[in-house]
Each structure stands twice: as structure tokens, then as C-alpha cells.
Amino acid sequence: MSKPRLAVWKFASCDGCQLTLLDCEDQLLNVADAIDIAYFPEATKGEIAGPYDLSLVEGSVTTAHDAARIHEVRRLSKKLVTIGACATAGGVQALRNWANVDDFVSVVYAHPEYIETLETSTPISQHVEVDFELRGCPISKRQLLEVINAFVHDRKPDIPPDSVCVECKMRGTPCVMVAKGTPCLGPITHAGCWALCPAYDRGCYGCFGPATTPNVAALGSWWRGLGASNNDLVLALRTFNGYAPEFREASETYEH
């Protein structure tokens, strides 16, 4: 039986999500046994031509070239899974979507005319059909392995879309919002990180993006009671998943 072929693609990103695969030290060789790592430029020079059975796509679309390239990736891939906040929600670079990109370019570059970029940073799903979106900035190792496992066995990945609070409580961390008045995005943020931040004595900053049906308005009023300003709310909602619809819309209501 021939092994399924895996390809790892990079768009605008920090490389952290694809590094997560290399960070699975204990499982890496098993993964390589179960699937052919056919295209993964960060880790290998060798390259097996497509089509690929599974494509992991990291990063968002920010250039005209990438907007075209993603269609080619889709064409070459049986299943396409986006990995991380960039690919799933546009990433931190989507903060440009609220600004004038020309201003942005001139802040960073002396010769803006050399820079080709789009006005917006957009998630992969705005360009092509996506089979599964894995959240997190960065993604969790455990969940990445679950997605690969599910794919190899032709099943749906078991990635509960609950709030971070579920994991926080399972972990036994006393709620930082209740016990210390520290603002926390946990109740509206997608689980998967094993409620890391509260366990380290800080509020969740939403790096996994919105949970299902997040009640941002209710959490927002509570935050204000804890002393947060509208601008604090805008900043908190607009980080790595700011362009996810639920966070985006809510942040816009706090802007005025």
C-alpha cells in the first residue's frame, strides 16, 4: 500500500506552525512512517511532485502572487487543512486590514515602490475551499497530530470547539478573572492550548481565536467593570485572530 503524501505550504507567517510538526520530536519518525513528507521546504530539499493527499497550509494571503498560488495548492491537494491563526483568520498581519497599507509600507521601507503587497491579509478560506481549520498561534502539537491521525484513518478530527474555560477548569486553575480581576478572553476563545495562560497567572489573550458562538458583548461589559476601556477591548480583540469574523465585528463596535 502506498503511503499518503503530505505537503506543507507557507504563505505569510512566522513559520511557527510548521515548526510545530518538527517539534513533535517523539512522534516525528512515526509520522514519517505513516505518511510521505513529500513537500516541506523548511525541512527538506527533496521534493516529490504533486498531487498530494494532505496539504497543511500555514500563513495568510497578502500578495497577488500568493492569491494565485493558493489556487494551485488547492488544485494539487486532495485535502487541504489550514494550520494556525494566519491561515485561519489572517494572522497578526491582518491588522493592516484596518489601516491604509501604503502608510504601512512607507513606515517600514525606504522604497515603497519595490514592495508588492495586497491591501489586506486574508485567511485561506476566503480564497479556496478548506477541509479543516486548525486554530492557534501557534497550533498545538497534540491537535496537529490528531488532525494527521484523523486524516490517515479517514475520520473527522476530534477538536472540540469549546471555550478555553473548559480546559482551565479541567486543569484546576482558579479562574484569574474571578480570583484576581485579571481580564481574560478564555470564555470566548477556542480551546486547544490546555488553558496555558491562566495556569501561568495571566489572562488568555485569545491566540486560538473565537470559540463557537462567543458572547463577546457580555464579556466586554464585564471587562469594563474590571476597568478596561473600549480601546483596551479593541486591542485585546485585535491581535492574532483580530480578523476572525466574531472578533472583528465585536472590535468594530468598541471602536467608537
95-134 residues in contact with ligand SF4 (CB under 6 A) are none
Q: Are 78 and 33 in contact (CB under 8 A)?
A: no
Determine the size of the site formed for ligand SF4 (CB under 6 A): 36
Site for other proteins contains 245 (CB under 8 A): no
State which of positions 106-135 bind other proteins (CB under 8 A). Answer: 107-111, 114-115, 117, 121
Return d(Cα 31, Cα 198) in angstroms, integer: 32
**Cβ 93 to other proteins, closest distance in Å?**
4
Nearest to ligand SF4 of 49, 178 (CB atom): 178
Interacting stretch for other proteins, rule CB under 8 A, among 14-22, 70-78, 124-132, 245-253?
A: 14-22
Of positions 104, 126, 132, 230, contacts other proteins by CB under 8 A: 104
Q: Does 147 bind ligand SF4 (CB under 6 A)?
A: no
Q: Compute the half-sphere exposure of residue 63: CA atoms within 13 Å on the CB side of its CA.
A: 11
Question: What H or E segment, with its residue span, contains residue 54?
Answer: strand 52-58
Which residues between 56 and 85 bind ligand SF4 (CB under 6 A)? Answer: 58-59, 84-85
Q: How far apart are CA 82 and CA 16, in angstroms?
A: 13
Residue 48, helix vs strand vs coil: coil
Task: Give the separation between CA 145 and CA 205, rounded to whole angstroms.
Answer: 24
250: which 3 cell numbers? 465585536
Q: Does 164 bind ligand SF4 (CB under 6 A)?
A: yes
Given 3-state DSSP classes, what are the helix, strand and coil percentages for the chain, each rounded to the nearest 5?
A: 45, 15, 40
With cell 521546504, the residue in question is 41
**145 binds other proteins, rule: CB under 8 A:** yes
Given the rule CB under 6 A, which residues bind ligand SF4? 13-14, 16-17, 58-59, 84-86, 91-92, 137-138, 164-165, 168-169, 173, 175-177, 184, 186-187, 189, 193, 195-198, 204-208, 240
